[in-house]
Structure 1
Amino acid sequence: MRKISADHYMNSPLLDDAHQETFFQEKVQVLADEVLTIIKELHEERSTLVNSRLIAKKMFNRESVQKLLDDHGYLAKGRSVSNDQLKQSVDTVVNRFAESLPLAVREHLSRLKDQCIASSSEDVLDTTVRIMRKLFNSISSRVNELEAILQTTNRFLSEMEMYLKKEMSSIEGKHHEDVALQNSIFSDISMIKQSFDMSGDIRMIKEAVFNKIANITITIEQKREQEMSRLEETKSTLEVMHRKMRDIVEEAEVIRKRSFDTEIESLQDNLTKLFNRRAYDKKIEETLANFNRYNVSSSLMIFDIDNFKQINDKYGHRTGDLTLRKIAEIFKERFRKNDFIARYGGEEFVCILPHTGLREAKEVAEHIRAFIENTVFTFKVNKIRLTITAGVSMFRKRDNASTVFERADAALYLGKKSGRNTVKTEDDIEKSGKSVSDFFIE
């Protein structure tokens, strides 16, 4: 869940270890966003001195970080942050950044993370910085590769332009040669006529005529040879142009396919193969536009796996990852093809149901909840039962992406407070005597 009030945690009489852990993770999520923003800014500035001290200096100037630092209740109660929590913080920062990256880059990021995070490492922020700098360098390499392809294409186009200019020059030269040939033939014919007029000797006339005809024949033969040579040259030029054009088309297709694949990958969650947060942000804006234009009823669901941290702690993160994949498979099977399903982050999933009112959406969510509750999940020798909690809201006039999400998120939190393994809607919030704002920071 997002934006749960810090005051709620710190003032609650039931501030147990689980709530303290959740509160710590909420802080880490905020700090993760700030760290990533600063690292990106420094990279865009091409700063070579990127280290934890510089990042910390910039973070202290940010209002959101100041609020977190002012809220010192977590440590004031005598609690400390363990090395495991620090390593989880690194994972949070790196994984948050990875959500918007293409698959190939995410896989490279995972390898970098494994290499950089040593078991004894305590300099968590510097470790994260090293990972991010290596990753940015990797992305820059891909940008350079694309620039190289574009430069090659530009070179091909320049060569084609040269060939076309050469062909135009050849055509102009041919025109001048044709005029010269025509003038030469006319000149020889004129001289034959003059021979007839100036001489009465048949032998001399015959010799003059034969000589001029021979000259005309030689000139025509030379012209024919020139045409054949030009034809071969033109044919060769066209073949070269054809090969260059084919190379350009192939290169363009490679770029198009790579761009398409990269766009698809950037919208996909690497672990579950569902859509990711970035895809959700685009989809909800599209849904709001359709709702405002066509008044199409649509609903939003937020699902959260109950006690997911306990699964990670008891069975390990690999089992936790398998759990997320299993839940994703159930969502794919149980929702309609035109329903939009995405992993929002961690163990949270969101679903947008077009042409579905609040009551129908609650029935769908209840069906999914019951199915998961009655399913036994087997991971090697471990048999695990899972439950989920869901919050449901409906798109309304004057809604934006935040308001419709906050109502569903508040309903989800109400379900968590009610004992988990349940479905709550925005109507249930009103029935509880609370408002949506009671669950969030003003």
Structure 2
Amino acid sequence: MSETPKEAPKIDYRERYEQLLGEISTLENNEQRHQSLLRTLISRVLFAVDKAYPELAADSQKLRETLRQSEDGPLALDRLQPSIERLAEEIRAIEANNLTPPRSETLTPEENAAQIDVRDFLPILLERIAFTEQLDGRRAKLLRIIQDPKDRTLNSVLIDRAASLINDMRRALEHEKTELAQFLQQLTESLSEIDQHTFAHLTDIQTQRDSQRALDEAVTEQVTHIGQTVASATDLDELKKEVRERILRIGDYIQSFRQTEEKRLDELELENQHMREQITKLESTRSFLHEQLIASEQKMLRDPLTGLPNRLALDERVELEMARMKRESTPLCFAIWDIDHFKSVNDTFGHQAGDKALHVVGKTLHKLIRDVDMVARYGGEEFVMILPRANLQQAFVILERIRETLAGTAFRFKETPLKITLSCGVAEVQPQETSETAIMRADEALYRAKSNGRNRTEMALIK
């Protein structure tokens, strides 16, 4: 008789199913953040259009109406895109036909402010969106164009490129969600197949029990007949003949049972082998997808230029530390760093030097913070630092030590020494205060540090 097949390793599919559902939820939350940023971008761009191109106010108003209609759900990009493209085409036609004055020459202050606003706002938007590694190169190239004071690219073209980049990022997220949904569907089908196999296995066990019961009854019947024959036999030859026939029948019953059992076990082994192959394939796919999701989430929470956590990661950590502060009644401070005269570095040495400075500063800040602290790139040349369990005076001492170390660090770009200093503003979160208000106070303190000569740390005033 064949050996009983080994049991396949037990896998908690319910736990993995719930884990994957949680990962889908994370992707959906990230998409909601991007949708919110995209809504803000469109609103700010339409504001700029109203100021710079009053004749297009009716078209921009229609776009606003379409935007408002999708406030309670995902952006209706299929409805927005044709209108945005049409508006961009109208702007190109106006500028090509010189129907508006040249930029910054005869524009009114309000119109000129709207033109500048686009180039000021787009970098902030692009810095705060976590792009995939494949799209980050395009983001960096577009940022260099936007921030180049000599560039004469039309604002409408810059807006088109930014919108295209964000849409591509959204499509990448949709593709990732689709892959995960397909895997969940595959997992559901495999679980259903396993359920069917389990049911069939239970049925098979019942069949085996019935067969064993039938064999037992048949053997018992023949043994009973042998006993009765022996008890009533008068002829020895007849007795031998009867006993021999009964024993042969018992042998036939056992042989038939053995053949049936071997056939059943062979079928069961084939079924088990198929299920093991299915489980192995499912496990391999799950592991690959899980690794992809982890890598994707890490990229989504990491600034590719500095290697520091980005704005999304900062928001998550701020929420955790605010909850810890309230739960444990411990102090918490936020600090904002800004590289002094960063624009002059870009203008004098080029964006490559600026990128190098950002990378070195980010790496140095990360090396100098305490184990419990966190530093993240906030956007542009700004960095935000979280200092748990430190009051305002303690945080000031820590930040001053870091600032002095940075000021004494020798920066070089292609053998050219660069003098890099940073200004800092710090605020301690007050009872009943939100994180947004505390960070805003730290930003105001940073502004004072800039106004008071730079390369210094200022503490936020309590309002």
User: TM-score, normalization: structure 1?
Assistant: 0.74
What's 2:255 paired with?
A: 221
1:336 maps to which of 350, 365, 370: 370
Shift of 1:350: 1.2
CA RMSD of aligned residues (A): 3.8
Q: Distance in 2 between matches of 1:171 and 1:183?
A: 18
Aligned partner of 2:93 in structure 1 is: none
Give yes or no for contact 1:35–1:55 (8 Å, CA) kept in 2.
no
Change (3 A) 1:29 1:170: closer
Deviation, structure 1 residue 208: 2.1
**8 A Cα contact 1:52 1:126, kept in partner:** no
Residue among 284, 305, 319 paired with 2:339: 305
Contact 2:325 2:332 in 1 (8 A): yes
Match of 2:108 in 1: 76
Q: Secondary structure at the match of 1:268?
A: coil
Q: 1:271 aligns with which of 296, 305, 309?
A: 305
Q: In the aligned structure 1, how far is the partner of 2:332 from the partner of 2:197?
A: 59
CA contact (8 A) 1:51 1:126 kept: no
CA offset at residue 326 of structure 1? 0.9
Question: Which consecutive residues of structure 2, in runs of 5 or more, have no partner in the other structure?
Answer: 1-36, 46-63, 88-103
190 and 293 in structure 1: CA distance in 2 versus 1, 3 angstrom threshold:
closer
Q: Which residue in the other structure is 1:110 paired with? A: 137
- Matches of 2:198 and 2:300, distance apart in 1: 41
Pick the aligned partner of 1:161 from 177, 190, 195: 195
C-alpha displacement at 1:337, in angstroms?
1.8
Is 1:95 matched with 2:127? yes
CA spacing shift, 1:134–1:406, aligned 2, 3 Å: closer
- What number of residue pairs does the alignment pair up? 382
Q: Against the structure 1 CA distance between its residues 33 and 302, is the aligned structure 2 distance closer, same or farther, given a 3 Å change threshold?
A: farther
Matched residue type, 2:351: H
- Retained in 2: the 8 A contact 1:29–1:92? no
Q: Is the 8 A contact 1:51 1:129 kept in 2?
A: no
Amino acid at match of 1:215: R
- Among candidates 373, 382, 385, match of residue 348 of structure 1: 382
- In 2, the alpha carbon distance for the partners of 1:337 and 1:317 equals 32
Give the AA of the match of 2:386.
I
Task: Find the counterpart in structure 2 of residue 50 from structure 1.
Answer: 80
1:113-192 equivalences in 2 (<5 Å): 122-192=156-226
Does the 8 A contact of 2:128 with 2:311 survive in 1? no
Code of the aligned partner of 1:94 = L
Structure 1: unaligned runs, 5 residues or longer = 1-27, 58-71, 431-435, 437-442
8 Å CA contact 2:303–2:377 kept in 1: the answer is: yes
Contact 1:32-1:96 within 8 A present in 2 as well: no
**Structure 1: which amino acid aligns with 2:325?**
F
| 1:370–1:354 CA distance, 2 compared to 1 (3 A) | same
Question: In structure 1, what is the Cα distance between the partners aligned to 2:435 and 2:138?
Answer: 35
Report if aligned partners of 1:192, 1:209 keep a CA contact under 8 Å in 2.
Answer: yes
Please give the alpha-carbon distance, in whole angstroms, between the structure 2 residues aligned to 1:95 and 1:110.
Answer: 12
Q: 2 CA distance for matches of 1:411 and 1:115?
A: 31
Query: Alignment partner of 1:393: what SS?
Result: strand
- Superposition deviation, residue 280 in structure 1: 2.0
Asked if 1:32 is matched to 2:41, the reply is yes
Contact 1:113 1:131 (8 Å CA) reproduced: no
Counterparts of 2:140 and 2:309, CA distance in 1: 23
Partner residue, 1:209? 243
Whichever residue aligns with residue 422 of structure 1, its letter is: R
Q: Structure 1 CA distance, aligned partners of 2:363 and 2:299?
A: 18
Between the aligned residues of both structures, percent identity stands at 24
